[in-house]
Amino acid sequence: MVEVGPRDGLQNEHGVVPPDLKVSFIEALADAGLPVVEVTSFVNPKWVPQLADAEEVLTRLRRKAGVRYPVLVPNERGLDRALAAGADEIAIFASATETFSQRNLNRSRDEAAAIFAPVAAKALEAGARVRGYLSMVLGDPWEGSVPPDEVVTQGRRLLDMGCFELSLGDTIGTGTPGHVQALIDAFDGAGVAADRLAVHFHDTYGQGLANVLAALQSGVGVVDASAGGLGGCPFARSATGNLATEDLVYMLDGLGVVSGVDLMAVAGASARLCRALGIDIPGRVARAVRGREGDVE
């Protein structure tokens, strides 16, 4: 499980979240047993002001042994900042569709690849691991359905740059289990095994958990999720919150899949964060647990 709440969840908040709150949230998630907690993004603060404190958060963080703390970087300048702050795992992000690449990155897919290739090479040379994100893999609000072979082409670009893993993002949450299976089959047919893939689903149409189950049944073993169901893409129309970590853990527990994640501890971290921000918890299981227990601490 890759916890993306501290980055993907908080980047959408209208107000600035204090660094102290971010650090305590990240540490609580790691203590809850999550093996990977994505900390922040070293993007230009002009575009995502909520993450302007990236250096401070990463350097102040109490790192737990055995937990990975990746950060997102958009270019070489972001990579240099991340490495100077002590990052040892970075993520780069691209789009499966041309329109979203232009709207999200302000450049074509080819132009984006030309920027990310040296970033990945430099990170690998510095000893950092590199993960790849690919957006709009199951649907695009401007282009509609996305052919699997087009997704494979763009995904292999990232893998060829040296990414150890490719996270497939259903950015607007329009995919169904059939779409998921067909996409993973297309990667397999192109020589990319399921153990090189991860999935990153949004729950816009209520298909998030069903899509995760389809991915698991197709051999994918890594799932991205956001504590409390916070987040979504600020640059994509129709993108609602990420799949909630608590919802995912609850389903895995029911399937007898050992995740090592303490459901109540994650729900407690989500409840404390949302209370501090003055917002309701979007995730269903987190809400149910909070209602059942009266509150979660």
Domains for the chain: give ranges and CATH numbers: 2-293 (3.20.20.70)
9: pLDDT confidence band, cut at 50, 70 and 90?
Answer: confident
Q: Distance (Å, rounded) from C-alpha 41 to C-alpha 48?
A: 9
Q: How far is CA 120 from the centre of its chain?
A: 18
User: Is the distance from CB of 71 to CB of 86 less than 8 angstroms?
Assistant: no
Q: What is the mean pLDDT of the chain?
A: 93
Span 37-63, average pLDDT: 93
3-state secondary structure of 157: helix
pLDDT digits (tens, 9 = 90+) for 135-150: 999 999 999 999 999 9
Span 196-220, average pLDDT: 96
Q: Is 163 a catalytic residue?
A: no
Q: Which single residue is written with the structure tokens 């059942």? A: 292
pLDDT score of 237: 47
Give me 148's structure tokens. 């699997």
pLDDT score of 235: 42
Give me 109's structure tokens. 């897919």
pLDDT score of 240: 58
Q: Which single residue is written with the structure tokens 């994509």? A: 236
pLDDT score of 232: 54
85: pLDDT confidence band, cut at 50, 70 and 90?
Answer: very high
pLDDT at 84 over 90: yes
Q: Distance (Å, rounded) from C-alpha 218 to C-alpha 286?
A: 28
More confident residue, 241 or 73: 73
Nearest to 257 by CA among 248, 268, 266: 248
Residue type at 280? D
96: pLDDT confidence band, cut at 50, 70 and 90?
Answer: very high
Residues 6+ apart with CB under 8 A from 147: none
pLDDT score of 144: 95
pLDDT digits (tens, 9 = 90+) for 99-111: 999 998 899 999 9
Please pick, among 183, 233, 266, 285, the residue that the annotation labels catalytic: 233
The helix or strand, by DSSP H or E, that contains position 80, with its residue range, turns out to be helix 76-84
Give me 37's structure tokens. 């907690």
293: pLDDT confidence band, cut at 50, 70 and 90?
Answer: low
Q: How far is CA 151 from the centre of its chain?
A: 18
pLDDT digits (tens, 9 = 90+) for 269-287: 999 999 999 888 889 999 9
Nearest to 19 by CA among 48, 65, 59, 68: 59
